[in-house]
Amino acid sequence: MSLTCPICQQALSLVDNGVACPANHRFDRARQGYLNLLPVQHKNSRDPGDNAAMVEARRRFLDGGHYAPLARRLAELAAERAPQRWLDIGCGEGYYTAQIAELLADADGYALDISREAVKRACKRAPQLSWLVASMARVPLADASCNLLASVFSPLDWQEALRLLAPGGGLLRMGPTGEHLMQLRQKLYDEVRDYDEQKHLELIPPGMRLAHSETLRFALQLDSSQARADLLAMTPHGWRASAERRAAVIAEDFEVTVSIRYDWIEKI
Protein backbone atom coordinates (compact mmCIF):
# COMPACT_ATOMS: atom_id res chain seq x y z
CA MET A 1 0.00 0.00 0.00
CA SER A 2 1.35 3.45 -1.00
CA LEU A 3 -1.20 5.56 0.83
CA THR A 4 0.01 8.47 2.94
CA CYS A 5 -1.70 10.38 5.74
CA PRO A 6 -3.30 13.59 4.41
CA ILE A 7 -2.51 15.33 7.72
CA CYS A 8 1.14 14.41 8.38
CA GLN A 9 2.20 12.60 5.15
CA GLN A 10 3.42 9.49 6.99
CA ALA A 11 2.63 6.05 5.55
CA LEU A 12 -0.83 4.63 6.20
CA SER A 13 -1.31 0.99 7.20
CA LEU A 14 -4.43 -1.15 7.27
CA VAL A 15 -6.08 -1.32 10.71
CA ASP A 16 -9.48 -2.77 11.59
CA ASN A 17 -11.97 -1.20 9.18
CA GLY A 18 -9.70 1.50 7.80
CA VAL A 19 -6.18 2.90 7.83
CA ALA A 20 -3.94 4.68 10.33
CA CYS A 21 -0.51 6.36 10.39
CA PRO A 22 2.20 6.16 13.11
CA ALA A 23 0.87 9.45 14.57
CA ASN A 24 -2.48 7.64 15.02
CA HIS A 25 -4.49 9.67 12.52
CA ARG A 26 -7.22 7.15 11.62
CA PHE A 27 -9.54 7.01 8.64
CA ASP A 28 -12.42 4.53 8.51
CA ARG A 29 -13.58 2.77 5.37
CA ALA A 30 -17.12 3.78 4.38
CA ARG A 31 -19.87 1.21 4.09
CA GLN A 32 -19.60 1.41 0.28
CA GLY A 33 -15.87 0.54 0.41
CA TYR A 34 -14.06 3.84 -0.15
CA LEU A 35 -11.67 5.70 2.19
CA ASN A 36 -12.34 9.35 2.98
CA LEU A 37 -8.89 10.97 3.11
CA LEU A 38 -10.17 14.55 2.86
CA PRO A 39 -9.76 16.15 6.31
CA VAL A 40 -12.22 18.90 7.12
CA GLN A 41 -9.43 21.52 7.08
CA HIS A 42 -8.71 20.70 3.41
CA LYS A 43 -12.31 21.27 2.30
CA ASN A 44 -13.29 24.56 0.70
CA SER A 45 -17.00 23.84 1.27
CA ARG A 46 -19.12 21.39 3.20
CA ASP A 47 -19.50 18.99 0.27
CA PRO A 48 -16.89 19.90 -2.37
CA GLY A 49 -17.02 18.62 -5.94
CA ASP A 50 -19.98 17.52 -8.03
CA ASN A 51 -23.33 17.17 -6.30
CA ALA A 52 -25.63 14.13 -6.50
CA ALA A 53 -27.69 15.53 -9.42
CA MET A 54 -24.61 16.15 -11.59
CA VAL A 55 -23.18 12.74 -10.73
CA GLU A 56 -26.45 10.99 -11.61
CA ALA A 57 -26.74 12.86 -14.92
CA ARG A 58 -23.22 11.81 -15.89
CA ARG A 59 -23.83 8.22 -14.81
CA ARG A 60 -27.00 7.96 -16.95
CA PHE A 61 -25.35 9.55 -19.99
CA LEU A 62 -22.19 7.45 -19.84
CA ASP A 63 -24.02 4.21 -19.06
CA GLY A 64 -26.11 4.94 -22.18
CA GLY A 65 -22.93 4.23 -24.18
CA HIS A 66 -22.71 7.65 -25.86
CA TYR A 67 -19.02 8.02 -25.03
CA ALA A 68 -18.11 4.30 -25.17
CA PRO A 69 -15.50 4.76 -27.97
CA LEU A 70 -13.72 7.38 -25.83
CA ALA A 71 -13.51 5.06 -22.82
CA ARG A 72 -12.35 2.13 -24.95
CA ARG A 73 -9.48 4.10 -26.49
CA LEU A 74 -8.45 5.49 -23.10
CA ALA A 75 -8.28 1.98 -21.64
CA GLU A 76 -6.28 0.70 -24.65
CA LEU A 77 -3.73 3.51 -24.31
CA ALA A 78 -3.40 2.81 -20.58
CA ALA A 79 -2.94 -0.92 -21.22
CA GLU A 80 -0.18 -0.23 -23.78
CA ARG A 81 1.85 1.37 -20.98
CA ALA A 82 1.46 -1.74 -18.74
CA PRO A 83 1.80 0.15 -15.43
CA GLN A 84 2.37 -1.68 -12.15
CA ARG A 85 0.50 0.99 -10.19
CA TRP A 86 -1.89 3.58 -11.61
CA LEU A 87 -4.16 6.35 -10.36
CA ASP A 88 -7.21 7.99 -11.91
CA ILE A 89 -7.14 11.61 -10.68
CA GLY A 90 -10.63 13.12 -10.69
CA CYS A 91 -12.37 9.81 -11.36
CA GLY A 92 -15.92 11.17 -11.06
CA GLU A 93 -18.49 8.38 -10.93
CA GLY A 94 -15.97 5.83 -12.19
CA TYR A 95 -17.12 5.03 -15.75
CA TYR A 96 -13.69 5.53 -17.35
CA THR A 97 -11.86 4.17 -14.30
CA ALA A 98 -13.69 0.84 -14.47
CA GLN A 99 -12.78 0.37 -18.13
CA ILE A 100 -9.10 1.06 -17.43
CA ALA A 101 -9.27 -1.41 -14.52
CA GLU A 102 -10.68 -4.10 -16.83
CA LEU A 103 -7.59 -3.95 -19.07
CA LEU A 104 -5.16 -3.53 -16.15
CA ALA A 105 -6.41 -6.45 -14.08
CA ASP A 106 -2.97 -7.30 -12.67
CA ALA A 107 -1.96 -3.74 -11.75
CA ASP A 108 -2.47 -1.97 -8.42
CA GLY A 109 -5.19 0.61 -9.12
CA TYR A 110 -6.26 3.74 -7.24
CA ALA A 111 -8.94 6.32 -8.02
CA LEU A 112 -9.79 9.58 -6.31
CA ASP A 113 -12.20 12.46 -6.50
CA ILE A 114 -13.03 15.32 -4.16
CA SER A 115 -16.77 14.58 -4.54
CA ARG A 116 -18.00 12.07 -1.99
CA GLU A 117 -21.22 11.63 -3.98
CA ALA A 118 -19.19 10.61 -7.05
CA VAL A 119 -16.87 8.17 -5.24
CA LYS A 120 -19.79 6.61 -3.34
CA ARG A 121 -21.24 5.50 -6.68
CA ALA A 122 -17.91 4.88 -8.42
CA CYS A 123 -16.60 2.24 -6.03
CA LYS A 124 -19.42 -0.14 -6.99
CA ARG A 125 -18.07 -0.30 -10.55
CA ALA A 126 -14.71 -1.88 -9.65
CA PRO A 127 -14.54 -2.90 -5.96
CA GLN A 128 -11.00 -4.28 -6.42
CA LEU A 129 -9.56 -0.75 -6.73
CA SER A 130 -8.63 1.56 -3.84
CA TRP A 131 -11.25 4.33 -4.02
CA LEU A 132 -10.47 7.60 -2.24
CA VAL A 133 -12.25 10.83 -1.45
CA ALA A 134 -9.28 13.20 -1.52
CA SER A 135 -7.93 16.46 -2.88
CA MET A 136 -6.20 16.50 -6.27
CA ALA A 137 -3.87 19.16 -4.88
CA ARG A 138 -2.82 16.90 -1.97
CA VAL A 139 -2.96 13.35 -3.31
CA PRO A 140 -2.47 10.90 -0.39
CA LEU A 141 0.00 8.67 -2.22
CA ALA A 142 3.78 8.43 -1.80
CA ASP A 143 6.31 10.21 -4.03
CA ALA A 144 7.18 8.34 -7.26
CA SER A 145 4.61 5.65 -6.43
CA CYS A 146 2.70 5.59 -9.77
CA ASN A 147 3.65 4.54 -13.30
CA LEU A 148 0.50 5.99 -14.85
CA LEU A 149 -1.84 8.82 -13.95
CA ALA A 150 -5.13 9.15 -15.83
CA SER A 151 -6.77 12.58 -16.02
CA VAL A 152 -10.13 12.62 -17.82
CA PHE A 153 -11.91 15.96 -18.39
CA SER A 154 -10.34 17.01 -15.12
CA PRO A 155 -8.27 19.92 -13.82
CA LEU A 156 -4.73 18.94 -12.90
CA ASP A 157 -2.06 19.97 -10.45
CA TRP A 158 1.10 19.48 -12.54
CA GLN A 159 3.47 19.55 -9.59
CA GLU A 160 1.47 16.81 -7.90
CA ALA A 161 1.60 14.77 -11.12
CA LEU A 162 5.37 15.18 -11.24
CA ARG A 163 5.70 14.18 -7.58
CA LEU A 164 3.53 11.07 -7.92
CA LEU A 165 5.14 9.66 -11.08
CA ALA A 166 8.05 7.25 -11.04
CA PRO A 167 10.76 7.98 -13.66
CA GLY A 168 9.58 6.67 -17.04
CA GLY A 169 5.95 6.82 -15.92
CA GLY A 170 3.50 9.24 -17.44
CA LEU A 171 0.26 11.15 -17.42
CA LEU A 172 -2.50 10.00 -19.79
CA ARG A 173 -4.63 13.10 -20.30
CA MET A 174 -7.98 13.07 -22.08
CA GLY A 175 -9.66 16.38 -22.91
CA PRO A 176 -11.75 18.21 -25.51
CA THR A 177 -10.54 19.76 -28.76
CA GLY A 178 -11.95 23.05 -30.06
CA GLU A 179 -14.54 21.12 -32.13
CA HIS A 180 -15.97 19.17 -29.19
CA LEU A 181 -19.76 19.62 -28.83
CA MET A 182 -19.59 22.58 -31.23
CA GLN A 183 -23.23 22.21 -32.38
CA LEU A 184 -24.42 22.20 -28.76
CA ARG A 185 -22.44 25.34 -27.97
CA GLN A 186 -23.80 27.08 -31.10
CA LYS A 187 -27.34 26.39 -29.89
CA LEU A 188 -26.61 27.73 -26.41
CA TYR A 189 -24.62 30.91 -27.12
CA ASP A 190 -24.79 33.80 -29.61
CA GLU A 191 -21.01 33.80 -29.71
CA VAL A 192 -19.03 30.56 -29.28
CA ARG A 193 -15.72 31.17 -27.56
CA ASP A 194 -12.61 29.65 -29.10
CA TYR A 195 -11.05 26.88 -27.07
CA ASP A 196 -7.27 26.52 -27.20
CA GLU A 197 -6.63 22.79 -27.00
CA GLN A 198 -2.85 23.36 -26.92
CA LYS A 199 -3.03 25.53 -23.80
CA HIS A 200 -2.37 22.66 -21.37
CA LEU A 201 0.89 21.80 -23.19
CA GLU A 202 2.35 25.15 -22.09
CA LEU A 203 1.80 24.07 -18.47
CA ILE A 204 3.90 20.89 -18.72
CA PRO A 205 6.62 21.39 -16.09
CA PRO A 206 10.35 20.78 -16.56
CA GLY A 207 10.99 17.08 -16.03
CA MET A 208 8.05 16.00 -18.23
CA ARG A 209 7.59 15.88 -22.00
CA LEU A 210 4.81 15.18 -24.50
CA ALA A 211 5.58 11.74 -26.01
CA HIS A 212 2.34 10.91 -27.89
CA SER A 213 -0.83 12.70 -28.98
CA GLU A 214 -3.91 11.60 -30.94
CA THR A 215 -7.49 12.70 -31.54
CA LEU A 216 -10.68 10.63 -31.65
CA ARG A 217 -13.61 12.22 -33.46
CA PHE A 218 -17.12 10.97 -34.24
CA ALA A 219 -20.67 12.22 -34.77
CA LEU A 220 -23.16 11.49 -31.98
CA GLN A 221 -26.91 11.54 -32.59
CA LEU A 222 -28.75 12.81 -29.51
CA ASP A 223 -32.25 11.47 -30.10
CA SER A 224 -33.38 11.26 -26.47
CA SER A 225 -34.46 14.28 -24.43
CA GLN A 226 -33.06 12.59 -21.31
CA ALA A 227 -29.62 12.21 -22.95
CA ARG A 228 -29.68 15.86 -24.05
CA ALA A 229 -30.66 17.02 -20.54
CA ASP A 230 -27.96 14.83 -18.97
CA LEU A 231 -25.28 16.10 -21.35
CA LEU A 232 -26.17 19.67 -20.39
CA ALA A 233 -26.16 18.82 -16.68
CA MET A 234 -22.70 17.20 -16.79
CA THR A 235 -21.00 20.12 -18.56
CA PRO A 236 -20.48 23.74 -17.44
CA HIS A 237 -22.99 24.72 -20.16
CA GLY A 238 -25.74 23.45 -17.84
CA TRP A 239 -25.43 26.58 -15.70
CA ARG A 240 -23.71 29.06 -18.04
CA ALA A 241 -26.43 29.16 -20.71
CA SER A 242 -29.87 30.73 -20.30
CA ALA A 243 -32.81 28.59 -19.16
CA GLU A 244 -34.58 29.35 -22.45
CA ARG A 245 -31.66 28.10 -24.58
CA ARG A 246 -31.26 24.99 -22.41
CA ALA A 247 -34.97 24.16 -22.80
CA ALA A 248 -34.68 24.52 -26.60
CA VAL A 249 -31.70 22.10 -26.66
CA ILE A 250 -33.56 19.49 -24.62
CA ALA A 251 -36.68 19.76 -26.81
CA GLU A 252 -35.16 18.83 -30.18
CA ASP A 253 -33.08 15.95 -31.63
CA PHE A 254 -29.71 16.95 -33.07
CA GLU A 255 -26.25 15.64 -33.89
CA VAL A 256 -23.06 16.76 -32.16
CA THR A 257 -19.39 16.29 -32.93
CA VAL A 258 -17.44 14.48 -30.22
CA SER A 259 -13.76 15.36 -30.57
CA ILE A 260 -11.31 14.32 -27.88
CA ARG A 261 -7.56 14.57 -27.62
CA TYR A 262 -5.36 12.05 -25.80
CA ASP A 263 -1.88 13.05 -24.64
CA TRP A 264 0.78 10.83 -23.07
CA ILE A 265 3.13 13.07 -21.09
CA GLU A 266 6.15 11.22 -19.71
CA LYS A 267 8.27 11.91 -16.69
CA ILE A 268 11.85 12.10 -17.97
**Nearest of 44, 45, 7 to residue 26 by alpha carbon:** 7
Separation of alpha carbons 68 and 211, rounded Å: 25
Give the annotated binding-site residues for S-adenosyl-L-methionine.
Answer: 67, 93-94, 180
Q: Where are the domains of the chain?
A: 28-176+192-215+261-267
Q: Where does the chain have alpha helices with state H?
A: 52-63, 68-81, 95-103, 116-122, 158-164, 182-188, 225-233, 237-240, 243-251
Q: What is the mean pLDDT of residues 230-258?
A: 90
Give the annotated binding-site residues for Zn(2+).
Answer: 5, 8, 21, 25
Q: What is the pLDDT of residue 145?
A: 97
Give phi and psi for 110, each to the nearest 5. Answer: -130, 150
- Candidates 1.10.1060.10, 3.40.50.150, 3.40.50.720, 3.40.50.300; CATH matching 28-176+192-215+261-267: 3.40.50.150
Query: How far apart, in Å, are the Cα atoms of 195 and each of 71, 130, 215?
Result: 22, 34, 15
pLDDT tens readout for residues 97-128: 999 999 999 999 999 999 998 999 999 999 99
Give the annotated binding-site residues.
Answer: 5, 8, 21, 25, 67, 93-94, 180
Q: What is the pLDDT of residue 7?
A: 94
Residue 1 has pLDDT above 90, yes or no: no
Q: What is the pLDDT of residue 193?
A: 83
**Nearest of 49, 2, 7, 50 to residue 138 by alpha carbon:** 7
Q: What is the mean pLDDT of residues 148-159?
A: 94
- Residue 48 carries which DSSP code? -
What is the pLDDT confidence band of residue 41, given thresholds at 50, 70 and 90?
A: low
Strand partners, 130: 110
Taking the CA atoms of 152, 155, 161 and 164 in sequence, report the sign of the dihedral they define: negative
Q: What is the pLDDT of residue 164?
A: 97
> Which region among 33-42, 163-172, 239-248 has the lowest average model confidence (pLDDT)?
33-42
